[in-house]
Structure 1
Amino acid sequence: MSIVEQTTSEAKGPSLIVQSAVLLAMTAAAIGLGWAAGQYLYRNDAARIEAPAAATAEAESDAHGPGTRGIEITLAPITTNLAVPGTTWVRMEASIILDEPAAPSLADDIHQDFVAYLRTLRVYQVEGATGFRNLKADLEERAKIRSGGHVRQVLIQTLLFE
């Protein structure tokens, strides 16, 4: 048998130039995709912000004329307990803004509707900014339904839990 001389050759990896080119290509792709995503999000965000502001300004000027703010009625303070836990009490002072004069009993009806709604709440439903925003939206919706669409906004001056 013959002795075959085996030479060990070092495993060659990709050259430094190929590695640099791949790194540059991936970096350029990441920058390009990041820029494209930013442009897409900025365009959608700008459209979302500008559209409601323009619609609100147009609706107010059309429906109420320039400078008209509406009629503000302060509701009696509400003090009641929540559904869960039953030992937690809430005190709320609120006002409603109407687009035209309404019957005096409307404020009392809305007040009683708010009391009934607050008694069904659980404390976790009104935690944090999102909970407060949802509470305000629910109160506005109930007031609009109760008034036949004459309530434009509900203003919450005080909301205290004990």
Structure 2
Amino acid sequence: MTITDQAAAPAKGPSMILQLAVLLAMTGAAVGGGWFAGNYLGQAGGHEGAVAEKAAPAGGHGAPEAGHGEEAEANPLLVPLPPMTTNLAAPSRVWVRMELSLLLDAAQPPELIETIHQDLFAYMRTLKLHQIEGASGYQHLKSDLEERARIRSDGHVKQVLIRTLLFE
């Protein structure tokens, strides 16, 4: 065998069976990792579905239905707020429209709900676009809205749900 014969012979790589086995192993690892992450994240944020099941119908504005007594008071109430449309502090040409709902621990007077709505509306007018950009900006906005609503309601607001958030 000469040097030219060795150079002309194709180099042997891994066999087809070995390549398929590696592909199947990597696919299995990806599926397993996705399943594990989905279960882990589902447990961390899974309480939202349970809260939605307990929430009162939106048409009732948070008032418990007659005949349920203490059971209705123990369940949280979902109160939709009127839509908010305003411009941001900077740039002032950017408009935002939000639809929110409040998750309350008990029925509250309409005056308190209106006070919370006006406070959240005033807060939205102070925001700058760079403060609410991206996923972390959204999370900060949500936590700020929840904090303001809890302060105004003396802790009766358990969560602020952002139903719609549009920028124009």
TM over 0.5, shorter chain: yes
Work out which of the two has the higher radius of gyration on C-alpha atoms and give 1 or 2.
1
The question of whether the paired residues in 2 share the 8 Å contact of 1:143 and 1:151 is answered with yes
CA separation of 1:93/1:15 partners in 2, compared to 1, >3 Å: closer, same or farther?
A: closer
How many residues are aligned here? 151
The answer to whether residue 22 in structure 2 is matched with residue 29 in structure 1 is yes
Structure 2: stretches of 5+ with no match in the other structure: 55-69
How much has 1:82 moved relative to structure 2?
1.0
**Alignment map for 1:42-53 (pairs within 5 Å):** 42-50=35-43, 52-53=45-46
Task: Provide the identity percentage.
Answer: 39
* TM-score normalised per structure 1: 0.59
Cα RMSD of the aligned pairs, angstroms, is 4.3
What is the distance in 2 between the residues matched to 1:150 and 1:55?
17
The answer to whether residue 94 in structure 2 is matched with residue 88 in structure 1 is yes
The question of whether the paired residues in 1 share the 8 Å contact of 2:81 and 2:117 is answered with no
Counterpart in 1 of 2:79? 72
The question of whether the paired residues in 2 share the 8 Å contact of 1:73 and 1:107 is answered with no
How much has 1:90 moved relative to structure 2?
3.8
How much has 1:147 moved relative to structure 2?
2.3
How much has 1:133 moved relative to structure 2?
5.1
SS of 1:85 mapped into structure 2:
coil
What is the distance in 2 between the residues matched to 1:70 and 1:12?
80
What is the distance in 2 between the residues matched to 1:91 and 1:40?
38
How much has 1:127 moved relative to structure 2?
6.5
**Alignment map for 1:1-162 (pairs within 5 Å):** 9-12=3-6, 19=12, 21-50=14-43, 52-53=45-46, 57=50, 65=71, 68-70=75-77, 72=79, 74-75=81-82, 78-102=84-108, 105-123=111-129, 130=135, 134=139, 135-155=141-161
* TM-score normalised per structure 2: 0.58
